Amino acid sequence: MKRALTTGVTGQDGSYLTELLLSKGYEVHGIIRRASTFHTERIDHLYQDPHLRGTRLFLHYGDLSDSVTLVKLLNELKPDEIYHLGAQSHVRVSFDIPEYTADINAVGTIRILEAIRQAGVRPRFYQASSSEMFGKVVEIPQRETTPFHPRSPYGVSKVFAFWATVNYRESYGLFAANGVLFNHESPRRGETFVTRKISRAVAHIKAGLQKKVYLGNLEAKRDWGYAPEYTEAMWLILQQDSPDDYVIATGETHSVQEFCEEAFGLVGLDWRRYVELDQRYLRPAEVDVLMGDPSKAKKRLGWEPKVKFKELVKIMVEADVKALEDRLAGKVPAVEDERP
Ligand code: NAP
Ligand code: GDD
């Protein structure tokens, strides 16, 4: 039985990846941060599964700021594969907390890579790299050879982590690989990312519980894919004969406004009546357009996206509508939108 260690196990991708690894027979160890409230709702269904509990999914307290614990865990667990997904992952927030973002995303990656060396283990290592590294893009579509020009402290931190991964591969012969993933979404997407903010607002507005949704730049364009498919690509990247870096994307790009049109349209509403601009959601520097070329992944990994834009919007809106209906049926009070 293969053993995987995952950082960011409580996040969107961590939860889908854990499902995938368990379905493939892995023993999965996840690192979670201590919080004053529960924050494991995305993996509770796995952790509480009586068939798995205490046998194949294990959670360990740790933090990417704490190298001692990382070394200790690697020594104890000696994993075959490490999926490093933990990060301060919000781009706009990274302008508010740049030092923290750099510490967790950039130095945190070095901490894990060094912990691997200190512990004297040889796991395969996956780094959650990002299309945000392309930033002010020099070509469309972006591919593995496209130069980086990050536009946020988050993007800068991910460029550092990308090159740290390459450097440990070249310096120490580690099987260390980057997945350069374009935006990927799902019903488990954090509520402050734009797609989920919109799909959630559509559900609340349709139910008469919210009047408006306040957004920033509607013109930004993103290459949005479906998260479960992207975690499959992560796994494939670590199953290859040699480590390499791959762009994972749909090859399509759509604006935030198109997402609004489609999402509101699905419940028969005109988005223009409900979407308002709020300057707070604008960024000091914006990434105007992202569109990836996944042809290397298709050729080498046999990976191809199946869910495209319209189906993705439908999946997210239907999930939020249903979740709200279930909550209301259970008489749980609905929470008003409006988060930072
Ligand atoms: P997410 O939902 O925001 O999850 C981030 C995870 O990192 C959470 O489990 C979080 O734990 C954990 N984390 C944050 N700070 C930490 C710390 N100091 N120590 C340990 N863990 C910490 O992000 P995601 O969408 O799943 O993305 C996964 C990874 O892929 C991230 O590295 C992200 O930057 C990268 N990425 C994402 C996309 C995308 O479109 N989703 C695209 C490219 C790259 P808590 O639950 O305790 O907050
Ligand atoms: N979050 C947010 N909130 N974004 C908004 C809003 C709003 O109210 N209004 C407009 N936007 C625009 C942002 O300015 C950006 O251009 C676009 O919507 C997408 O924003 P996010 O959903 O926050 O995602 P992101 O592209 O900045 O970052 C995500 O994708 C990266 C991959 O390219 C994150 O998941 C990153 O962790 C990931 O690396």
Q: Are 102 and 157 in contact (CB under 8 A)?
A: yes
Closest CA to 194 of 265, 254, 105, 104: 254
- Tell me how far apart the alpha carbons of residues 168 and 114 are, in angstroms, rounded to a whole number: 9
222 pocket-lining for ligand 2 (C-beta < 6 Å):
yes
Query: How do the domains of the chain map onto residue ranges?
Result: 3-185+225-248, 194-222+252-290+308-329
> What are the residues whose beta carbons fall under 8 Å from the beta carbon of 62, sequence distance 6 or more?
7, 31, 32, 33, 69, 70, 73
Q: Which ligand sits closest to the CA of 185?
A: 1
Q: Is the pTM of this model over 0.85?
A: yes
91 pocket-lining for ligand 2 (C-beta < 6 Å):
yes
As given in the structure block, the two tokens for residue 253 are 């790009």
The residue type found at 189 is: R
> What are the residues whose beta carbons fall under 8 Å from the beta carbon of 145, sequence distance 6 or more?
none
Tell me, what's the pLDDT at 340? 29
Q: Are 22 and 52 in contact (CB under 8 A)?
A: yes
- Closest ligand 1 atom number to CA of residue 14: 26
pLDDT tens digits for the chain (340 residues)?
999 999 999 999 999 999 999 999 999 999 999 999 988 999 999 877 767 666 799 999 999 999 999 999 999 999 999 999 999 999 999 999 999 999 999 999 999 999 999 999 999 999 999 999 999 999 999 999 999 999 999 999 999 999 999 999 999 999 999 999 999 999 999 999 999 999 999 999 999 999 999 999 999 999 999 999 999 999 999 999 999 999 999 999 999 999 999 999 999 999 999 999 999 999 999 999 999 999 999 999 999 999 999 999 999 999 999 999 999 998 554 444 332 2
CATH architecture of 194-222+252-290+308-329: Alpha-Beta Complex (3.90)
Distance of CA 136 to CAs 37, 127, 149, 162, 209, Å? 38, 22, 6, 17, 38
- Tell me how far apart the alpha carbons of residues 83 and 7 are, in angstroms, rounded to a whole number: 6
As given in the structure block, the two tokens for residue 55 are 């046998």
The domain over range 3-185+225-248 is classified in CATH as 1.50.10.10: no
Kindly calculate the radius of gyration of the chain based on its CA atoms and give it in whole angstroms.
20
